[in-house]
């Protein structure tokens, strides 16, 4: 997903000389990406940008599709109020489009009928032929539009399936790395801290950003907590006492300038 975001970001400088609709397609893809990443706030931001573009263009079918995406994101984020609001907008617009299309079709038919009624009986056959052609064209258009829509969703489902597979594989790798790090900690291997930094680089950066003066032992102790090890485990790995562990937590809270009522373990896990 990070790679997908990277390449999507590279598209923006290339869109300056392109039609605004192409930019809307890229923004919509960003919305799909952040929906998959469960960053619903960013997803909604991109979908609303898409909505603004299609509203200015008066592209009702595209607006309808965007309403559905926004409602889906609100559903995933647990916001039933906004979900229902956009479902209502979707329904109203859908009904409006259906009514407009029926009116357009009826107007065409009525025009053909009135023109043919003004002519003599020799032109009656033309009326029936025109209706048949119109129906055939409409059928062909509906077929190809439905086929294109189904193809798009099939591709989208395939991409999502591939991303889910990649996510599962990543989880398996992380689980393997977690077991490896635990084993290094248990055996008091000097490579423990180096391997931990490789597997959890973001945590290490955030930790040292909070206090750049941390010692290697401070970082190692924080790593134990980040791995969700119990005090009993740490006592065993460090060959120390429970009192020493509590004192170490107390000193680290001081180094991070944390108040006494803060749960240090929870603070580390949420870092």
Q: Where are the domains of the chain?
A: 2-113, 188-269
* CA gap 154, 188 in Å, rounded: 51
Segment 87-113 shows an average pLDDT of: 89
* CA gap 104, 112 in Å, rounded: 12
Tens-place pLDDT, residues 132-148: 898 889 878 888 877 87
* CA gap 128, 74 in Å, rounded: 49
* CA gap 157, 101 in Å, rounded: 30
Which has more pLDDT, 175 or 66?
66
Nearest alpha-carbon partner for 245 in 254, 236, 234: 234
Which has more pLDDT, 271 or 42?
42
pLDDT given for residue 21 in this prediction: 84
Segment 115-128 shows an average pLDDT of: 71
DSSP single-letter state for residue 254: H
* Fold of the domain built from segment(s) 2-113: 1.25.40
Contact status, residue 24 vs residue 50, Cβ threshold 8 Å: yes
Give the model's confidence band at 9: pLDDT under 50 very low, under 70 low, under 90 confident, else very high.
Answer: confident
Tens-place pLDDT, residues 221-265: 999 999 999 999 999 988 899 999 999 999 999 999 999 899 999
Give the number of other CB atoms < 10 A from CB of residue 200. Answer: 19
* 39-48 contacts at long range (C-beta below 8 A, 24 or more positions apart): 40/73, 40/74, 40/76, 40/77, 43/73, 44/70, 44/73, 44/74, 47/73
pLDDT given for residue 18 in this prediction: 74
CATH number for the domain running over 188-269: 3.40.50.2300
- Kindly provide the b/e burial profile for residues 36-51, where b requires at least 16 CB atoms within 10 angstroms of the residue's own CB: bbeebebbbebbebbb
Give the number of other CB atoms < 10 A from CB of residue 86. Answer: 22
- Of 43-47, 104-108, 255-259, the poorest mean pLDDT is in 104-108
Give the model's confidence band at 130: pLDDT under 50 very low, under 70 low, under 90 confident, else very high.
Answer: confident
Query: Is the overall model pTM greater than 0.85, yes or no?
Result: no
Tens-place pLDDT, residues 175-228: 578 888 988 988 888 899 999 999 999 999 999 999 999 999 999 999 999 999
């Amino acid at each position: 997903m990070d790679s997908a975001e990277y390449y999507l970001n590279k598209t923006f400088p290339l869109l300056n000389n392109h039609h605004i609709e192409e930019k809307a397609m890229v923004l919509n893809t960003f919305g799909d990406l952040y929906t998959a990443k469960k960053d619903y706030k960013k997803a909604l931001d991109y979908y609303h940008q898409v909505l603004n573009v299609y509203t200015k263009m008066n592209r009702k079918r595209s607006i309808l599709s965007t309403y559905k995406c926004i409602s889906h994101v609100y559903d995933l984020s647990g916001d039933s109020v906004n979900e229902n609001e956009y479902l209502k907008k979707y329904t109203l617009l859908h009904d409006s489009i259906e009514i407009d299309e029926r009116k357009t079709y009826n107007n065409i038919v009525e025009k053909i009928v009135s023109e043919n009624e003004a002519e003599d009986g020799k032109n009656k056959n033309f009326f029936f032929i025109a209706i048949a052609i119109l129906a055939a064209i409409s059928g062909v258009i509906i077929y190809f539009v439905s086929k294109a829509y189904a193809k798009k969703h099939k591709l989208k489902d395939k991409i999502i399936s591939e991303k889910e597979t990649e996510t599962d594989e990543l989880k398996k790798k992380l689980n393997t790395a977690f077991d490896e790090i635990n084993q290094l900690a248990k055996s008091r291997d000097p490579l423990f801290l180096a391997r931990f930094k490789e597997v959890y680089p973001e945590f290490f950066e955030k930790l040292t950003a909070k206090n750049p003066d941390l010692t290697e032992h401070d970082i190692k102790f924080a790593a134990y907590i980040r791995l969700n090890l119990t005090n009993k485990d740490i006592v065993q790995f460090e060959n120390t006492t429970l009192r020493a562990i509590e004192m170490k937590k107390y000193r680290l809270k001081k180094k991070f300038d944390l108040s006494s009522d803060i749960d240090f373990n929870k603070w580390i896990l949420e870092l």
